[in-house]
Amino acid sequence: MANNDYSDALVGKDIPILSKDEKWQQLFLLSPKTPKIKELEAELNKLVNIQEKTREKIKDIKRLKKKLLGEIVVLRDDAGKNPKRRKKIEAEIDDHTRLIKECNDKIEECEDDMLGLPREIYQIDYQLMIETMNIFYKRMHDNTLEIDAVDEWISKVRVQLKKNIIRMQEKELENFNVYSYMHNIFGPEVIDLFDLKYDPEKRHPVIRPGMTERDGIIVEDEKFTDN
């Protein structure tokens, strides 16, 4: 699959924040992160941290605003009950009103800052996904080439191994039969004179289908030799 093929297929896909994803991190236990991956990961973390801090800031401001609104209700109630302190209480109410307006302005400012963040985060996350795919697609492609080469080698070796096993069995069969013939013809004393190093108990042929032993000699059955 070409780069463009999976790039187009991944456009618009819902993907996790990769730098925060444990499975994505585990991928790079198989292959080290490239400078490009590290750069994109750092940029993504920076944007995500800004987003998280801005959200927390908005929550803090909203908590403060809620507290101020609650205090204004109490102050207005106190102003009605304490005419002598009304002027001072009204000044406190004005101060609270000013602080609430500042809270609203700060919330609006934070929300403006947040507007472009999701898109920026997605764009960097998407680039990180494509770069990750590039690295591991190539790794899998290279692995596949090596697997195919090793598989081909194993197939060739397996064929050669079978040939060598047959050859070895044929030589063992020949040695066994030669030794048996010589032993039967000349006797063990003559064989010993030639110091023939052969132990039929250790080196003996594998009797395959179509072979039988007759008088110590391994022969092939006629039905296997008639052509």
pLDDT in tens, 28-86: 999 999 999 999 999 999 999 999 999 999 999 999 999 999 988 888 887 777 777 77
Distance in angstroms (rounded) separating the CA atoms of residues 54 and 113: 8
Tokens standing for residue 124: 């960097």
Whether residue 180 sits in one domain with residue 142:
no
Name the domain boundary from 138, 156, 174.
Answer: 156
Half-sphere exposure of 52 (CA within 13 A, CB side): 8
Cβ neighbour number for residue 7 with a 10 Å cutoff: 14
206 pLDDT band (50/70/90 cuts)? low
225 pLDDT band (50/70/90 cuts)? very low
Biggest alpha carbon–alpha carbon distance for the chain: 143
Whether residue 149 sits in one domain with residue 171:
no
What b-and-e string marks burial along 116-153, b requiring 16 or more CB atoms within 10 Å of the CB? eeeeebbebbbebbbbbbbbeeeeeeeeeeeeeeeeee
Tokens standing for residue 136: 């591991």
| Rounded alpha-carbon distances, angstroms, from residue 83 to 42, 70, 73, 125 | 60, 21, 16, 61
Domain that holds residue 200: 163-225
Whether residue 197 sits in one domain with residue 133:
no
Query: Per residue in 29-45, pLDDT tens?
Result: 999 999 999 999 999 99
Distance in angstroms (rounded) separating the CA atoms of residues 151 and 149: 5
Is the pLDDT at 122 greater than 50, yes or no? yes
Assessment of whether the complete model's pTM goes beyond 0.75: no
Whether residue 22 sits in one domain with residue 48:
yes
% pLDDT > 90, the chain: 53
Number of domains composing the chain: 2
Name the domain boundary from 128, 156, 184.
Answer: 156
Instruction: State the average pLDDT for the chain.
Output: 84
Is the pLDDT at 227 greater than 50, yes or no? no
Name the domain boundary from 106, 133, 156.
Answer: 156
